[in-house]
Each structure stands twice: as structure tokens, then as C-alpha cells.
Amino acid sequence: MNRNDIGSAGATKPGAIAGAITGTRIRERRLERGLAQGALARQAGISPSYLNLIEHNRRRIGGAILLRIAAALGVEPQALAYGGEAALIDGLREAAADAPAGADAAPELDRIEEFAGRFPGWAHLAVATLRRAQGEARRADALTDRLAHDPHLAASLHEVLSVVTAIRSTASILTDTAGLEPEWQARFHRNLGEDSQRLAAGAERLVSYLDDGPGTGRDILSPQDELDRFLDGHGHRFDVLEQGGDPGEVLKRAGVPSGTGAHVLIAAALECYALDARMLPEAALSAAIARLGTAPLALAQDLGVPVPLIFRRLAAMPEDVAGPVGLVSADASGAILGLKPLPGFAMMRLAGACPLWPLFRAGAQPGMALRQRLVQPGRDARPVLALTAAEEAAPGGFNMPPLMRSYMLLLPAPVEASPEAPLPVGNSCRICPRHACTARREPSILPEPMTPDAPSF
């Protein structure tokens, strides 16, 4: 078998197309239709050798050629071009950023797309490994934080170390003091006996606390990580709450220990969801979407509700009703509060987001909804449509401004040409190749993009 033949049986499993990149998808679709490469190339107006390069992800594709190939294959262009490739490639860039300095073989950053296309399984594995390492790093941070701030653990460690100190000091006296009087010997032997028993008991208590206490497994993630995991695990949707159910019951079933930061955050998220569902029931929103589509402003005007509520409710709708929807929210400091990913638009909470995201302008213009197409770096990146709005999360008072919360809804943008070019934005500065960006916080580890069709400032 040709080692490049990633579209043939055995190399690409059924279903793998969802995570593959554009060239691979084209090849899959062509083979499904029994089309020869030459035939598709002719219909698309390109040479067979060029199509071969595209199918093996050695040439990037977009614009008119993508539209012609999609038409020839009888599929929507988004079906070929829109997907997880941007996130996969961003993930690989992150992995490259984590490569140890001075390693014998540095990752070939200029061939990331080719690698992702030719070896999607390996690429996903590399990203999954990175995510696992990041998760472990977060757990280590949380554990360090816990060691520093958990009063019960601090008291337990203090007790154990104090007994160890007493034992060490007493044993040294017994072994180092020449001619120690018998009464002192007896006294220190007795102390050693007592201390050894206390040490055993203290160590047992400590191990028991670490094994069973409110601290292992889930708890050593940060509360925000716990919230993300909880919401991701439920697909950001709660059927029980859509039907008027009690958020307290959902919280109880989640099994998050009460009194923890995660419990507080999840409880607040569920209360907000339940309130939103009461203010805008699913049936009313679905009916409005059937009439008007998913345009949030039109929906807000028709239903007489605020735009941020429409955003949150769209993000909770099943994909067959509202299509793929991403949502990110932030407070006035720019801290990301919530994050529902949209395939094709990479977002990460840890490293700080791109300050060019319109999300961060929404808070300054709370009455104004912004609408802008965005594109992240990478020649295969597809534009997304970002709509932003802000709302008052808590009222202000004398010398106290209102507490604002900003939202950015993300929808797949049409592939068709638009009179206005999408705004080039990034994911996070460290893995963003737009070196000349004036919003840059820190240097990028990536080289400048070399392709003529790459978006630039």
C-alpha cells in the first residue's frame, strides 16, 4: 500500500472523516462516489496532479477551488472545509511550543498541516498527549495550592513532622550522648515509644485523608476545570432543566462535594441555566428558529428578550435545531468564565485569549451587539461568525460600577466570498504566528506564515 494513501481502507477508519482535514475529506468523498481523481480534477478545473497534492494535504485549498470541488462532489463546502482541523493544528502548535529547548530534533513547524493530513491518527494522539500533560500540570498546580492552603492537610502534616522532629531529636540524644544517665535513658525511650505510636496514627490519618477526604481525584482540579468538565460532559445541555426541573436535583446527582469551589460554580451555572430556560422555553425558541433562523438579533426582537439570553439559549439547543454553536463569556477583567467550543475555532482557558477577540470590546459597549467574521491563523482556517453582547450581571451603586459580563457567540461563517475580510485573530499569543500583531503580549514560538494566501495584518 502506498504509505501516503491515507484514504484507503485500513488507514482511515469509518467516522474518522469528522476529525480529518480538508484534503482527506475530499479524497474520502471522491472515493465514496467512485470518482476517479482525473475526473474530479477535470470537473474542478485543476490538474490531477494538483488534486493529488490537495488530497494528500500537501497543498492548501480554499475559495473558488474548494467551491468547485464541493459542487463536483455534490456536498456543501462546509462539509469539506469546516471541522476540527484548525483545532487539531493549533493543538499541534501547542505541543510544539512545549517541546524541550535544545532537543536534538525540533518539530517541523512549517509542515504541521502536512503532518496532520498525512497522519491524522498520530496528530490526534500528539494533541491528546499534550492535553493529558496539561491536565496533569493543572492537577499538580492544584495539589501544590492545596498543600499550601488546605488547613486540615497543613495541620496533619504539622503533626506528623512535629512527631518526626521529636523522634529524630530524641534518638540523637540516645545515640550521641555518652554516659547518659539511666533515668534520662528510660525517659527518652518512653518518649520514643509514645512518639512512634503517635507517628503511626498520624500517618494513618493523613493517608486516610488523602485517600478518602474531599481532595482526591476531582478536587485537585481547579473549580473552573470542574465546571468545564461538568458542562462538557453534559454537552452544555440539561433536558431536566428544559422541562422545568430543579437545578438542585441536577447538582445533587452530579455528586460534587458541597462546600467546594466547584460545587459553588456548578450550582450557579445550573441556576442560570434553569432561569434562562424559564425565561425562554425551548419550544418557543425552536419555533422562532424555524421561522427566523438562528440570527440572534432577529430572535431577540421577535421574542422580546435580551440578546445575551438568546446567545446562552442557542448554545443549549440541540445541534439539529440550532446547528453548531460555540459560546465564550468573560468578566470585566477579561477572565474567561465559560467556554463552549466550536470546532474550527481554537480556544483555551489557560494561556489567556487573543485580545483582538470582539468579546473583549463587548463590555465597553454594553448596549451594542457586535457582529464580525473572524479567522484564526493557518491556511486551512475557516472564518467563523462572532456575535457579541454584554449584560449587567450585578447593578452598580454609588462609586461602584455595574458588574458586566460579555458573551461571544460563534457560528460557522459561510464559505462564500464576503465584501468584508474576516478579522485575523489568534488563539493565544504564544502559538500565534502573527508576529507583527500590535496586540501581542509575548513572543510567539512559531515562524511567520510563508504562504501568500495567509491572512496578515
Partner 1 sequence: MTKQVLLIEDEPNIIEAISFILSRDGWQVRSHTGGAGAMEMVRARRADLIILDVMLPHRSGFEILADIRADPELGATPVLMLTARGQRKDREMAERAGASRFMAKPFSNAEMLEAVRALAGGAGGL
| Residues forming the site for partner 1 (CB under 8 A) | 148, 154-155, 157-166, 168-170, 172-173, 176-177, 184, 187-188, 191, 194-195
Nearest to 294 by CA among 327, 330, 271: 327
In the complex, least distance from residue 155 CB atom to partner 1, rounded to whole angstroms: 8
Is residue 440 packed enough to be buried (19+ CB in 10 Å), middle (13-18) or exposed (0-12)? middle
Nearest to 238 by CA among 281, 274, 195, 289: 274
Least CB distance from residue 369 to partner 1, whole Å? 46
Strands 370-375 and 423-424: parallel
Q: Which is nearer to partner 1, 197 or 301 (CB)?
A: 197
Distance CA 334, CA 330 (A): 6
The CA distance from 322 to 313, in Å, is 10
Q: Which CB atom, from 210 or from 394, has the smaller least distance to partner 1?
A: 210
Shortest Cβ 435–partner 1 spacing (Å): 36
Residue closer to partner 1 (CB basis): 176 or 212: 176
- C-alpha 337/C-alpha 77 separation (Å) is 33
Count CB atoms within 10 A of the CB of residue 77. 21
Pick from 22, 27, 33: nearest CA to 11: 27
Helices (H), 216-358: 223-233, 239-242, 247-254, 261-279, 282-292, 296-303, 307-316, 319-322
Sign of CA dihedral 261, 263, 267, 269: positive
For residue 239, the one-letter residue type is D
Residue 181 is given by DSSP the state: -
| Closest CB to partner 1 among residues 164, 284 | 164
- Judged by beta carbon, residue 2 or residue 175, the one nearer partner 1 is 175
Rounded least distance, CB 166 to partner 1, Å: 4
Our CB check for partner 1 shows the closer of 199 and 374 to be 199
Residue closer to partner 1 by CB (options 132, 152) is 152
- For partner 1, the closer of residues 106 and 161 by Cβ is 161
Rounded to the nearest whole angstrom, what is the least distance from the CB of residue 128 to partner 1 in the complex? 34
Q: In the 8-state DSSP scheme, what is residue 13?
A: -
Q: Whole-number minimum distance, CB 201 to partner 1, in Å?
A: 15
- Cβ 169 to partner 1, closest distance in Å? 4
The answer to whether 364 and 332 are in contact (CB under 8 A) is no
62 in Cβ contact with 85 (< 8 Å): no
Q: Which residue's CB is nearer to partner 1, number 165 or number 301?
A: 165
Least Cβ distance, residue 154 to partner 1 (angstroms): 7
Among candidate residues 21, 48, 25, the one with its CA nearest the CA of residue 37: 48
Min separation Cβ 163 and partner 1, Å: 7
8 Å CB contact between 377 and 426: yes
